[in-house]
Chain A
Amino acid sequence: MTLMIAPVLAYTPFVDALAVHNEWYLLIIPIAFFIAIGYKAVRCYDMKNYPREVFIFTMQILIGLGILAVIATALITVLIPMIAPVPS
């Protein structure tokens, strides 16, 4: 029987999950930024406007998601308890 112990690593970037459980909502910012970089690379007609369009598209994603978050929060915390209150 061959017995070989695998090398044990401490935290390794790109291998172990990152412990940012409390700041999860901030992760949308780089995701939106990278989406804008890639999308505008093929959809921006004049590359002179590229940085401006990337910025605008990033902000559109972030503001759009922010609005959706506000609507969802209002729906879950205000509207639904009004329509169907939980019996105490």
Chain B
Amino acid sequence: MVLYPSVIPGFSVDTLCISMHRSTPQKIDPVAGLAAAVFPGAGHLIRKRTSRGLLACVGVLGLFFFGLLIGGIDAIDSKEDRFWFLGEAMVGPLTFAVDYAHQNHFKAYDHAIKSTRTGNPEEHRVQINGRWEWEPLSRAQIEQGMGPPNVKGLGRLNEIAMLSIVLAGMLNLIIFLDALMPPTGQATKRSSSGRAPATKEPS
């Protein structure tokens, strides 16, 4: 099929070339990429695209903390929900920090399964010889309000919570790629000496 752009109002060969150029990968900016990998939106902040960086940060962290709000800290679990965690890990070091806190400050050892797990409502954490273990509570202790440090997320809500955090990770991957590869306008400005950029760089 042959296109004749000149016959279409407001359309020219130049605009066709620009639109084709936009879709091609641009020069890689490793510093911005590294910053984006460390914290959502930081890559855009380094590249002076402040509003985009802040909004990207709000989007990713909004999904992340919304997932934590629904499912609690149990929504991030590298041991019990390994495959979900692979998607969640794309949010960055924040996920690993929450997972570390979950594994070390909320779980305890269970002799029956010879591993750590989240506590049941009738248990509490006790430290025995330097290791946190689950110990059954008496009825009186339960009535006093004692229990495990967190309530385990179950069923549909736990799935939605994990989904929200995985979506945060996938969104952060898009934002990371956008920070790693500068926009067309900026790349054109760098490559063409003495010529005005073909497109206006997005703010």
Contacts and interface: CB of A to CB of B under 8 A. Distances in A.
Contact of A17 (B41, B60, B146, B157): B157
A31 B170 CA distance: 13
B63 A31 contact: yes
A42 B56 contact: yes
Interface in A45-68: 45-47, 50
A77 interface: no
Contact of A41 (B65, B129, B175): B175
A37 to B, nearest CB: 4
A51 to B, nearest CB: 11
Interface in B174-189: 174-175, 178
Contacts of A46: 202-203
Nearest to B171: A38
B156 A17 contact: no
A12 B150 contact: yes
A82 B151 CA distance: 43
Given A24-B157, A46-B202, A8 B68 contact: no
- Nearest 5 A/B pairs, CB to CB: A38-B59, A41-B55, A17-B153, A6-B125, A34-B62
Given A17-B151, A31-B66, 17 more contacts: A1-B128, A2-B128, A8-B149, A9-B149, A9-B150, A17-B74, A17-B152, A18-B70, A24-B160, A30-B62, A34-B62, A35-B59, A37-B55, A39-B59, A41-B59, A41-B175, A46-B203
11 contacts: A1-B129, A2-B127, A3-B126, A4-B127, A5-B124, A8-B146, A18-B157, A34-B59, A38-B171, A41-B53, A41-B55
